[in-house]
Amino acid sequence: MERSAEHLRLALDVPLARQLAAADSNAALRLWVEAAEAAGVLIFQMSRVPQSECRGFSIHETVLPVVVLNGADPPQARIFTLIHEVGHILQKTGSLCLLWADEAVERRCNALAAEALMPRSEFLGELGREDPYAAIPRLATRFRVSREAAAVRLRVLGRITSDQLAEVRAATADRIDAEREAQRGVEGGPPHHRTHLRNLGANYVNAVLDAWHDGDITVVDAAYYLESKVSTIERMEAELLGRETRR
């Protein structure tokens, strides 16, 4: 599994140092999404889909494989889902995933994502002599993964007990419920065009924009493919151009 995880990192060109250097979890998610897109994967994200129904899924295609993430998940969880789904693509399987499902393929993809994001030697080196259970929040922050993912990794490595893992999972569920309750009735959030661009993915939006500007499709076609008004399309294009300028 260590060799497969290293192969995945090489394929996406994300050495561990870049992952650890990310400013925060959102920056780490952007890093992995952009790396997957650069490797030719179409990344989409869902809105208004409960996490209990679907964390993500993938569609294996020789050209332009697809990964879909649940935008309701925290960025750390989406990172794990993304790498898990890339694992499906590398194995030439597509899947609708419940991340901790007890099936052979799902277990392999979970193990691959865990090793890629939390390499055994570096992860244990970071743990050192600290109490493993107490170290979970720090390890999760350091490796830009969820506390649940860090706890599962520690359990697999024999550093915490099953009861301790269950406590982390229960606390995670409680925290998600509390955050969801706090968000009810709260207005605001990112501009519509930015959320829509996130959901459609840069690769797909750029492909439609290129076809429009090259005269291969009309503005009506572009609006249909992007499910957007022309004003929203223009804002998404400006956002993409701004990203290129900042690089």
Q: Which of 217, 77, 92, 78 is nearest to 147 (CA)?
A: 77
Q: Which of 194, 181, 185 is nearest to 239 (CA)?
A: 194
Length of the chain (residues): 247
Alpha carbons 204 and 240: distance in angstroms, whole number: 12
pLDDT value at position 41? 94
Per-residue pLDDT of the chain (247 residues; tens, 9 = 90+): 899 999 999 999 999 999 999 999 999 999 999 999 999 999 999 988 887 788 899 998 888 899 999 998 999 999 999 999 999 888 876 665 555 555 788 889 999 999 999 999 999 999 999 999 999 999 999 999 999 999 999 999 999 999 999 999 999 888 877 877 776 666 667 899 999 999 999 999 999 999 999 999 999 999 999 999 999 999 999 999 988 776 6
pLDDT value at position 123? 98
For 46-91, the three-class secondary structure string (H helix, E strand, C coil) is ECCCCCCCCCEEEECCCCCCEEEEECCCCHHHHHHHHHHHHHHHHC
pLDDT value at position 96? 59
pLDDT value at position 190? 85
Query: How far, in Å, are 1, 112, 136, 138 from residue 127 at the CA level?
Result: 21, 20, 9, 9
pLDDT value at position 176? 76
Query: How far, in Å, are 4, 43, 44, 129, 180 from residue 174 at the CA level?
Result: 34, 29, 27, 29, 10
pLDDT value at position 222? 97
Query: How far, in Å, are 43, 66, 108, 126, 179 from residue 90 at the CA level?
Result: 15, 12, 11, 29, 34
pLDDT value at position 52? 76
pLDDT value at position 39? 93
Alpha carbons 48 and 211: distance in angstroms, whole number: 29
Alpha carbons 51 and 32: distance in angstroms, whole number: 21
pLDDT value at position 105? 82
List the chain domain ranges.
2-183, 192-246
The residues near 234 (Cβ < 8 Å, ≥ 6 apart) are none
